[in-house]
Structure 1
Amino acid sequence: MPNAIELIVDGYVSLNDQRALDDLRMQRRKLAVDLKALTGFDCRTTIQQIEEDIIVIEAGLARLDGAVTS
């Protein structure tokens, strides 16, 4: 069963909404940077999940790029 980010990315890809995917990726990257800067909390699991989300988002962007070049 796909997780939430996969469903969201699939929706944006089906709508051909590259801007939304770019915004989502930037939000996730900022969140990861902010969490890495925290002290006193163990955020490794959350950061790992965010990095996995970024991979899914980038795969969606690659699918859009592939649709444009085909």
Structure 2
Amino acid sequence: MPTTVELIVSAYVRLKNRQALENMRELCGQLLGTLQSTSGTNPAQSRSSLLEDLRVIEDGLEQLRPPRYG
């Protein structure tokens, strides 16, 4: 069963909405930065989840890249 992020990324890919995916990637990066600067908690599970979300977003962006000829 696909995750929520996978469903969202899939929809943006179908719509060819690169900007929305780039915005998602930027937000995930910001959340990771905030999480890593937070003390007093164990962010391992949240960090792992955000890294997986980033992987899914990057895969979606890769699908929208124009084919390379040559």
Question: How far apart are residue 43 of structure 1 and its match?
Answer: 1.0
Percent of aligned pairs with the same amino acid? 34
Alignment partners' CA distance in 2, 1:10 and 1:52: 15
Question: How far apart are residue 7 of structure 1 and its match?
Answer: 0.2
Name the SS for the 1:69 alignment partner: coil
Would you identify which runs of 4 or more consecutive aligned residues in structure 1 move more than 4 Å? none
Name the SS for the 2:2 alignment partner: coil
Question: How far apart are residue 69 of structure 1 and its match?
Answer: 2.2
1:8-47 equivalences in 2 (<5 Å):
8-47=8-47
What is residue 50 of structure 1 aligned with on the other side? 50
The structure with the greater share of residues assigned to helix is 1
1:69 is matched by which residue type in structure 2? P
- Gaps spanning 5+ residues in structure 2: where? none
Q: Root-mean-square deviation (CA), in Å?
A: 1.0
- Count of aligned residue pairs for this structure pair: 68
Task: State the TM-score, normalized to the length of structure 1.
Answer: 0.93
Question: How far apart are residue 56 of structure 1 and its match?
Answer: 0.3
Alignment partners' CA distance in 2, 1:36 and 1:13: 29
Task: State the TM-score, normalized to the length of structure 2.
Answer: 0.93
1:61 is matched by which residue type in structure 2? L
1:51 is matched by which residue type in structure 2? L
